[in-house]
Amino acid sequence: MTAPRPRRLARACLGLLAAVVAPAAQAEPVMLRYQFHPDDRMSMRVEHRALTETTMSETTQAVETMTDSTKTWTVVGVDAAGTATLEQSVDDVTMTSRTSDRGEIRWSSGSGAEPPPGYELVPHSLGVPLVRMTVAADGRVLDRRELRPCPPAATGDLVVVPLPDEPVEAGFEWTIPQEVVVEVPNGPRKAVRTRLRYRLDSIKDGVATIAVDTTVLTPVDDPRLEARLLERIWDGTIRFDIDRGRVVGRQTSIDRRVVGFGGPQSSVRYKASLAETPVEE
């Protein structure tokens, strides 16, 4: 075999270099929209972990909670425009709390045991609709009603992540303003403006990965209010199935500290994580 001539070798190297540095073909922008169908059931396994460390006068108390549950959204109706009425319920739950001075308390709805003090009302909230929402195809909440008393979700509702108005590609960002009311028991109350910023990080195998973070816009100069605001400021990642038109996973986390909420030698740290994964029917 004869050795390749220098000119041929140079052309081959240039061709290889061009192939390496040539820009990849741009993906077509995609329209992100929910696709609800009557009687659809969307069940998610939810794992929530939280740690609160409170320090007063150099004494620190820790409270750790762990909650594992199955949350189900049922589509009870859809109109011609794709606007859906949804009802949310909780099918089962296992709850664990652990404190640095009182030990651990654990209860599971499937155990058949009586719930411990503080959990007495939980069994009555299982398997029944808790919230009814009317949601547009772009994720706008047109109406929301609490069917039973339940605490507000610190990280929002799974199926109503707001979506952009136009076809988008990786790198696109959109923001959603929100207002939350924080208050201290027997103390001040304040409406705080926040902003959720969403970013389409990537699209792979028909699933859009969306990053989200929270920014507080209203100045909060009272550490007591700031401490109550901790669990409403979160960052995370959402996975959205484009063809099926639904969220198929989410992970969020919080790790923040406030100093001085109860005096110069006081502080509180709130660390939490939430993971939601689909339950295949």
The model's pLDDT over 256-271, given as tens digits with 9 standing for 90+, comes to 999 998 888 899 999 9
Most trustworthy range by pLDDT among 4-18, 64-78, 142-156: 64-78
Chain segment 121-160, per-residue pLDDT in tens: 899 999 999 999 999 999 999 999 998 876 545 444 556 7
pLDDT score recorded for residue 151:
53
Q: Please answer whether residues 180 and 194 qualify as being in contact, where contact means their C-beta atoms are separated by less than 8 angstroms.
A: yes
Most confident of 144-153, 194-203, 219-228, 258-267: 194-203
pLDDT, position 198: 96
Q: Is 176 strand, coil or helix? A: strand
* Spatial contact of 90 and 69, defined as CB atoms under 8 Å apart: yes
Check pLDDT > 80 for residue 6: no
pLDDT at residue number 5: 54
The answer to whether residue 208 scores a pLDDT higher than 90 is yes
In 3-state terms, what secondary structure has residue 226?
helix
> What are the two backbone dihedrals, phi and then psi, of residue 127, each rounded to the nearest 5 degrees?
75, 10
pTM of the full predicted structure?
A: 0.83
Strand partners, 236: 212, 252
